[in-house]
Amino acid sequence: MSEFTSLDFQMMSRAIELAKGGIYTTPPNPNVGCVITRDGEIVGEGFHFRAGEPHAEVHALRMAGNQAEGATAYVTLEPCSHYGRTPPCAEGLINAKVAKVICAMQDPNPQVAGRGIQMLREAGIEVQVGLLEQDANALNPAFIKRMKTGMPYVQLKMAASLDGQTALANGQSQWITSPQARQDVQKYRAQSGAILSTSKTVIDDNASLNVRWADLPKSVQASYLEQGLRQPVRVILDRQNQLTPELKLFHTGGDKIIVSEQGNLTPKINHQQQIDLRETLADLANSHNINHVWVEAGATLASSLIQAELVDELILYLAPKIMGSDGRGLLGALGLDSMADVIELDIKDVRQIGKDIRIVASLLKKEM
């Protein structure tokens, strides 16, 4: 095990903070930050801002100029070793003659992990790996999951009253949650690679399911300019070909993927004659480079995704209301016969958002 100094921890923390500057714009690329120091002083720093634009290391090296020679570079992710839309960052660090590179983590793609590090070491640069690795992981859960498994990271958004109802028996449900909760949803949408829903939700609510800059929280607007707004792909399951062109969805900018026989993604159909959700998600990851899917839909899709164990994280908004058990439940029937079969979650965060409560919980995989 390498030993890290307290200066190392400070600099990597700074690199991790920098990386967060790209959370709305880097998809499908990861968030990466970089700090370059010489004699304990920062001489360059940067982060990856947008896919197709320079990587974090490039910004930091440009800022450092010839002070990079003999310097130490802190990078939150192993520098890339391949020629993509930009030249490999490992090469940039070598050309700048840095003396040492500290990476928080290896590349999560097992096919390429370690190549950037190897390239640096072969050029005589000292490399250490693993500083604040957990924090670096937390920057890119979705990117890492897709790289490791070929499946996207799925967040399921739901909203209900304290007693778990989403609507009255007659279907009324307007404004269950507060404006602040709806702003918070906009923030999640803005961070996602795709927003997944169903034709039923799109038609019932004439929902556009897009990111509306004016509805983002002020704190987000301050660092995410309207001109640079990235619109996640909207993916609508439309088994029955019910979507029609006058719907608001089709009159807002941004890519749409309509999963239907007549749409632009032909679904695999399972033996229940329904769209195979696992295959659809795998398609989004592999053919459309989507790391991160944000689901907003009704009880039916939510239950199907949960039962198929395709949900990584539940984001549940609970409004301070009681509606009574004759309303509409959060989920469909799951047909469980034993408490041992109940779906278990792990609470990651609970907080008040306006008048509402937001619960973030990860779904635990059943042991087989």
Q: Is residue 35 within 8 Å of residue 132, measured between CB atoms?
A: no
Q: Which stretches of the chain bind a second copy, using CB under 8 A?
A: 160-165, 168-170, 172-176, 299, 303, 306, 314, 316, 318, 320-327, 329-339, 342-347, 350-352, 355-357, 359, 361
Q: How far is the CB of 183 from a second copy (least distance, A)?
A: 18
Q: How far is the CB of 317 from a second copy (least distance, A)?
A: 12
Q: How far is the CB of 74 from a second copy (least distance, A)?
A: 33
Q: How far is the CB of 184 from a second copy (least distance, A)?
A: 15
User: Which DSSP category does 337 fall into?
Assistant: -
Whichever of 229 and 299 has its CB closer to a second copy, that residue is: 299
Taking alpha carbons only, the member of 171, 203, 170, 161 closest to residue 330 is 161
The number of beta carbons lying within 10 Å of the beta carbon of residue 131 is 24
Catalytic site residue 344?
no
Whichever of 25 and 304 has its CB closer to a second copy, that residue is: 304
Q: Is residue 80 within 8 Å of residue 30, measured between CB atoms?
A: no
**Which residues lie across from 154 on neighbouring strands?**
293
Q: Which two tokens stand for residue 175?
A: 């404004």
* Helices 56-64, 6-19: inter-axial angle, 10-degree rounding: 120
Q: Which two tokens stand for residue 81?
A: 């070793």
Whichever of 150 and 324 has its CB closer to a second copy, that residue is: 324
Strands 356-363 and 313-319: antiparallel
Whichever of 8 and 184 has its CB closer to a second copy, that residue is: 184
- Catalytic member of 3, 17, 41, 57: 57
Q: Is residue 71 within 8 Å of residue 102, measured between CB atoms?
A: no
Q: How far is the CB of 356 from a second copy (least distance, A)?
A: 8
User: Which DSSP category does 132 fall into?
Assistant: T
Task: Give the H or E element holding residue 89.
Answer: helix 89-95
Whichever of 217 and 354 has its CB closer to a second copy, that residue is: 354
Q: Catalogue the active-site residues.
A: 57
